[in-house]
């Protein structure tokens, strides 16, 4: 039995598996996130059970209790118990994409109680402050990350944002701006009001459950976020000059 | 015409920014952006305020004639009802 601990966005997750191939996949995929210390969450991954008729699309639905969700896709099936902070997962094969996809779903559910969101966004830290560049595929997240050679890249695809009260010693970089990206002929920044920012942010929040109460909770976190952090429309062309425009905004 | 009372669906989530509401539809996760008049109707959907009183407020606050206010209000209510955002009752709703 292997037990690995992964720490992402302040949540430490113990991954337990009997399958040495799964353990290797987890170790390799999350090499930069392996951690030690008591786990907040515990996931048990069962050996692959090929041939199980899992769902074609991602289906996340409440199952067996208010805090318990069943999670299915063509390559995995599992459950997430938010109150117990436990999950189990069965894979069709020891594949890192399957494990990563399940973890994204788990995080999207787990973060609700800690006022966090998984967002389609590149996140960068520059001069001690965090910036979120938000948008769907093709909007320029990877380009912005590539052009920001003097910034620390946290992610160029999915970012976790958590609303924290006060300032702790171990706080992550404070988020000072959310930029909704699109390509343009010039660099331009335009401030957005919270209503428009909320409308722009919500489609970029990764969330799979369809239950009204959890969807409403995600809405409230997103609303709190756009009320707390300045939001902007950012039109940019592929050169680092957009940082100048951001600084002057 | 009998009096009607509107009640917001408890499944919705919403916020008001600068007098305009953003209301999340629970069934398809779409965001409904309401203007000032729509927001007045939405905020009045408390199960206790009669539609006639809402129309009267619209006439007063937005300088609209009663006939048009009533017609537009009823159309707006029908739209919100269709989206599952509110219910319409002929009786006063208990708090």
Mean pLDDT value across residues B56-66: 95
Residue A202 in contact with residue A97, Cβ under 8 Å?
no
Question: Both tokens of residue A156?
Answer: 């160029």
Q: Does A70 share its domain with A86?
A: yes
Q: Could you tell me which residues are beta bridge partners of residue A3?
A: A16
> What ipTM was reported for this prediction?
0.87
Q: Does A49 share its domain with A122?
A: no
pTM listed for this prediction: 0.91
Top residue of A216, A217, A222 to mutate, by most chain B CBs within 10 Å, is A216
A:170-209 residues touching chain B, CB 8 A cutoff: 193-195, 198-199, 202
DSSP for A9-51, please give it.
TTEEEEEEES-HHHHHHHHHHTGGGB--S--SEEEEEEPP-TT
Candidate from A202, A212, A220 with C-beta closest to B26: A212
Candidate from A193, A210, A220 with C-beta closest to B13: A220
CB contact under 8 A, A199 and B33: yes
B52-90 b/e (C-beta count within 10 Å ≥ 16 → b): eebbebbbeeeebeeeebbebbeebbeebeebebbeeee
Q: Does A108 share its domain with A26?
A: yes
Q: Does A61 share its domain with A134?
A: no
The string of pLDDT tens digits covering residues A17-49 is 999 999 999 999 999 899 988 999 999 999 777
User: Going from the N-terminus, what domains does chain B have, and what CATH number goes with each?
Assistant: 5-84 (3.90.930)
Q: Does A163 share its domain with A82?
A: no
Q: How far is B94 from chain A (nearest CA, A)?
A: 22
At residue A53, does pLDDT exceed 70? Answer: no
What one-character DSSP code corresponds to residue A205? B
CB contact under 8 A, A219 and B24: yes
Question: Domain ends where: A79, A114, A149?
Answer: A114
Q: Does A147 share its domain with A107?
A: no
Range of the domain at A27: 2-114
Q: Does A32 share its domain with A134?
A: no
CATH code (residue A227): 3.90.228.20
Give the separation between CA A126 and CA A150, rounded to whole angstroms.
7
At residue A86, does pLDDT exceed 90? Answer: yes
Q: Does A25 share its domain with A145?
A: no
Q: Does A129 share its domain with A62?
A: no
Place of tokens 């009267």: B56
Tally the C-alpha atoms within 13 A of residue B27's C-alpha that lie toward its C-beta. Answer: 8
The string of pLDDT tens digits covering residues B14-41 is 999 999 999 998 778 889 999 999 999 9
Candidate from B17, B24, B33 with C-beta closest to A216: B24
CB contact under 8 A, A198 and B26: no
Question: Domain ends where: A114, A148, A182?
Answer: A114
A115 dihedral zone (left: phi>0; alpha: psi -120 to 50; beta)? left
Beta strand pairing call for A175-183 and A231-236? parallel
Tell me how many domains chain A contains. 2
- B26: closest chain A residue by CA: A212
């Amino acid at each position: 039995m292997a037990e690995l601990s992964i720490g992402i966005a302040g949540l430490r997750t113990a991954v337990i598996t009997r399958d040495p191939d799964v353990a290797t996949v987890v170790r390799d995929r999350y090499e930069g996130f392996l951690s030690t210390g008591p786990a907040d969450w515990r996931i048990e991954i069962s050996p692959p059970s090929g041939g199980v008729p899992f769902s074609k699309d991602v289906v996340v639905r409440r199952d067996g209790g208010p805090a318990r969700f069943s999670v299915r896709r063509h390559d995995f099936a599992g459950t997430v118990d938010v109150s117990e902070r436990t999950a189990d997962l069965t894979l069709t094969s020891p594949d890192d994409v399957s494990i990563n996809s399940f973890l994204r779903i788990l995080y999207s559910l787990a973060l609700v109680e800690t006022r966090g969101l998984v967002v389609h966004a590149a996140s960068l830290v520059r001069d001690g402050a965090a910036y979120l560049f938000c948008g769907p595929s093709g909007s320029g997240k990877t380009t912005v990350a590539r052009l920001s050679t003097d910034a620390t890249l946290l992610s160029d695809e999915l970012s976790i944002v958590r609303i924290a009260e006060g300032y702790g010693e171990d706080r992550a970089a404070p988020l000072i701006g959310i930029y909704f990206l699109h390509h343009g002929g010039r660099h331009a920044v335009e401030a957005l009001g919270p209503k428009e920012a909320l409308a722009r942010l919500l489609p970029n929040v990764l969330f799979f459950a369809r239950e009204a109460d959890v969807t409403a909770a995600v809405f409230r976190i997103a609303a709190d976020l756009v009320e707390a952090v300045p939001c902007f429309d950012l039109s940019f062309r592929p050169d680092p000059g957009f940082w100048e425009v951001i600084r002057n905004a | 015409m009998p009096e009607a009372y509107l009640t917001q669906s408890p499944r919705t989530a919403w916020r008001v920014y600068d007098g305009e509401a953003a209301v999340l539809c629970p069934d398809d996760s779409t965001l409904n952006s309401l203007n000032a008049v729509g927001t007045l109707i939405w905020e009045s959907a408390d199960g206790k305020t009669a539609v006639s009183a809402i129309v009267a407020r619209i006439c007063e606050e937005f300088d609209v004639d009663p006939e048009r206010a009533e017609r537009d209000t009823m159309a707006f209510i029908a739209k919100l009802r269709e989206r599952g955002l509110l219910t319409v009752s002929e009786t006063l709703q208990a708090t």
